[in-house]
Amino acid sequence: MLVYATPIIATLLIWWASTGVILYLDGLSRRTFGWSLAGATALLLIAFWGMLSTRGETSAASAYCAFCCGLMAWAWQLISYYMGFITGPNHSPCPERLKGWGRFVAAVRTSLYHEIAIIICALALLWMSWGQPNQIGLWTYLILWWMHTSAKLNLFFGAPNLSEELLPAHLRYLVTYMRRRPMNLFFPVSVTASTVVTVTVAQQALGATTPFQLVGYTILATLMALAVLEHWFLVAPLHANALWSWGIKDEKTAKGLDRPEVDTMSVSVIEATRAAS
């Protein structure tokens, strides 16, 4: 079983470190965001090149490379969204009068362009890996997309832990589209589906016959296990965000001198949401 330790540990460390770096960059002054997006775009181009270069290879190294490429492609989506470059046509807190379908539509409009960008990138990765033996990068991207989308839906329907401190100040209005509730009906469905997929992929890893299959399936199984764990973090009485305490700026640091109006509104929005819940 020791052969599985390296891809598991590598996946955990790379995922943990990349998440922390993104949180750190999001907490910096907005004057730095252009440079961060430029760097992320350069990494995205490198990811595309890496995907094209390794799509026909079936070595353990090519599996690691494809995983990193898929992760870099996803990182670009997060940076462009959380830094406010590609979000949606709605940048306002949720009106109290909105309920049901109207509230859902308003929530979708807060990230509509972001979701379109995700789909375009997914189609590009699908085209690059179509009919090729190495599709680890594509599946890495798709799993991260599922983690992101499922978590957002659970927060929309309601969860005890909203993790609003992870949102940068200029996006704190998104908290008004979340609900603080003990449970929602979508949660058991999403957890069960993620668990079934995790077990299925893990079985593929255990039955691997080549180093490429062993590394690739283990990476994907680990990512899916993280998806399941992320779901439970939404309801468990744990402060999971402490894992990235080194990348999360405190409230005083996050309040840069170049954006006081946004921060004031953000704090008011969060306080109103907490009071309502």
> Using 50, 70 and 90 to split pLDDT, how confident is the model at 75?
very high
Residue 272 pLDDT: 41
Residue 249 pLDDT: 65
Q: Are 69 and 137 in contact (CB under 8 A)?
A: yes
Q: 217-248, pLDDT tens digit by residue?
A: 999 999 999 999 989 989 887 766 677 676 67
- Rounded Cα distance between 17 and 247, Å, is 9
Q: Specify the number of domains making up the chain.
A: 1
The rounded mean pLDDT for the chain is 88
Quote the crossing angle between the two packed helices 112-129 and 33-54, to the nearest 10°.
20
Residue 257 predicted with pLDDT over 60: no
- Rounded Cα distance between 190 and 187, Å, is 5
- Rounded Cα distance between 19 and 247, Å, is 8
Task: Record the pTM.
Answer: 0.88
Residue 166 pLDDT: 80
- Rounded Cα distance between 154 and 235, Å, is 10
Q: 20-69, pLDDT tens digit by residue?
A: 999 899 888 999 999 999 999 999 999 999 999 999 999 999 999 999 99
Is pLDDT larger for residue 250 or for residue 87? 87
Percent of the chain with pLDDT strictly greater than 90: 73
Residue 255 pLDDT: 43
**Structural domain range at position 78:** 2-276
- Rounded Cα distance between 154 and 187, Å, is 6
Q: Are 214 and 208 in contact (CB under 8 A)?
A: yes
> Using 50, 70 and 90 to split pLDDT, how confident is the model at 114?
very high
Instruction: Give how far Cα 199 sits from Cα of 137, 205, 228, Å.
Output: 20, 10, 11
Instruction: Give how far Cα 173 sits from Cα of 90, 119, 265, Å.
Output: 10, 24, 8
- Rounded Cα distance between 273 and 116, Å, is 28
